[in-house]
Amino acid sequence: MSLRWLETYSSKSTVRAYKWGLEQFFKALGFKGSLEENAEAYFREKRNFEEDVKTYFIQLQKAKTPPKSVDICLTSVKMFLMENGVELPTIFWRRLKGRRKGSRALMLDKVPSNAELRRILSHMDIKGKSLFLTLASSGMRIGEALKLQIEDVDLTSDPARINLRGEYTKSGNPRIAFISSEAKEFLEEWLKIRENEIAVAVKRSTRFKKKAEDKRIWPFEANTAYYIWRSAIKKAQFDKRFQYNNSLERFMVHPHVLRKFFRTRMATVIPVDVTEALMGHEGYLTEVYRRYSLEDLAKFYKQGEHTLLIFAESENLSKLKEEQKQLQTLVNGLTAENMELKAKINSLERQMAELAQKWQMLDQATKELVEGQIRLIKMLKEKHPEWIAES
């Protein structure tokens, strides 16, 4: 039987993974030929397909194959059988999955804070900053970003919009993504020097021929992007690793955590289903695109954009601190003025109290004087009535 069905996959890494899974399958069953020869020979024999898959599964378990690799191996066999007209019951695959040991890998990766991500990106050139800021502010997968062409990006819209074609995405369905204002600025700066960078790379390339007409925004492969990342996290001292799948080691801060960074930040501000759709999670795309227009999604993104800022956050924080300092100086000045005014008011109140007391004393003295004069006149009338008669 033919393996031409593998040609329907646009991702080279997926094709390589499936071919590797099938090679291990035939090896476990004792086939000696090439992959193509074994695929042809397999269906010429009368096989018990379920037993073959079980045998393969047991071999994988004995070899302590990591859970994700087991998934790839079983999926490659499942697709191989289905494409050749053999569809095993769903319950069979489900039971097989349930028997796996350590079917879920313990993930100890770390989602960096905005400040930690700023430390990492500070050790990258403009090319690296533009790529990883785009990833952090859009939730895109690195494989999707590295397929983007200049014509896929609209930097004139607000927020800047990226049209992910179906051939770029994991699901095969097109979608819209947005990037932050600072990611846009770094991307614009990268595009200004991109042509010169390509020209230099073409001249320098010897072993692998670099194409001058490469239309991709970032004209390099994933291994180059990972090298940029590894170099930066090492310089920023974030290169701690953890044991992964019992045998492999993985950096705690790796590029895929930028998707988690996007989700954890945006989901605190906008609906979770919108966040998941912007990331390209298939289960949310159709419903979100049905309920919301492109303008709605852009508004949602703008609401949460501030949570994704890396370098602008630092600048804004400095501005806020300066403004806070100025406000505190103003408050201190007003407090001093207020205290001075209070002192003046207290002094005036004391003076007014003293004046009131003096006025009261004067009033009392006046009353006493008038009363004294009245008594004197009365006394004179009594002693000298003739004065009154004469007058």
Report the CATH number that the domain containing residue 190 is assigned in CATH. 1.10.443.10
- 3-state SS assignment for residue 154: strand
Could you give the number of structural domains in the chain?
2
Residues 193 and 285 in one domain: yes
- Confidence (pLDDT) at 99: 63
Final residue before a domain boundary, out of 72, 98, 124: 98
Q: Are residues 231 and 299 in the same domain?
A: yes
Are residues 144 and 269 both part of a single domain? yes
Question: Residues with Cβ < 8 Å from 65, sequence gap 6 or more?
Answer: 73
Residues 157 and 230 in one domain: yes
Residues 6+ apart with CB under 8 A from 204: 210
Q: Report residue 318 as tokens.
A: 């400095």
> Is 230 domain-assigned?
yes
If you count DSSP H runs as helices and E runs as strands, how many of each does the chain have, helices first? 16, 5
Q: Which domain covers residue 60, as residue numbers?
A: 4-98
pLDDT tens for the chain, 391 residues long, are 568 888 877 777 888 888 999 999 999 989 988 988 888 888 888 888 888 989 988 888 888 887 778 888 888 988 888 888 888 888 888 887 766 655 444 445 678 889 889 999 999 999 999 999 999 999 999 999 999 999 999 999 999 999 999 888 887 888 899 999 999 999 999 999 998 888 887 777 655 455 667 889 999 888 999 999 999 988 988 766 655 555 555 557 788 889 889 998 998 888 888 888 888 877 777 777 778 888 989 999 999 999 999 987 545 545 555 666 777 778 778 878 888 888 888 888 888 888 888 888 887 888 888 787 888 778 877 777 776 555 5
Whether residues 158 and 305 share a domain: the answer is yes
Same domain, 167 and 208: yes
Residue 144 shares a structural domain with residue 37: no
b (16+ CB within 10 A) / e for 219-231:
bbeeeebeebbee
Give the global pTM.
Answer: 0.58
- Provide the pLDDT for residue 82: 87
Domain membership of residue 198 (yes or no) is: yes
Tell me: do 129 and 276 sit in the same domain: yes
Domain match, 295 and 146 both? yes
Name the 3-class secondary structure at 264. helix
Structure tokens at 279: 């990331």
Buried b (16+ CB within 10 A) or exposed e, 277-291: bbbbbeebbeebeee
Does 137 reside within a domain? Answer: yes
- Give the pLDDT score at 156: 93
What is the reported pLDDT for 68?
A: 78
Both 155 and 290 in one domain: the answer is: yes
Q: Does residue 103 lie in a domain region? A: no
Do 80 and 147 belong to one domain?
A: no
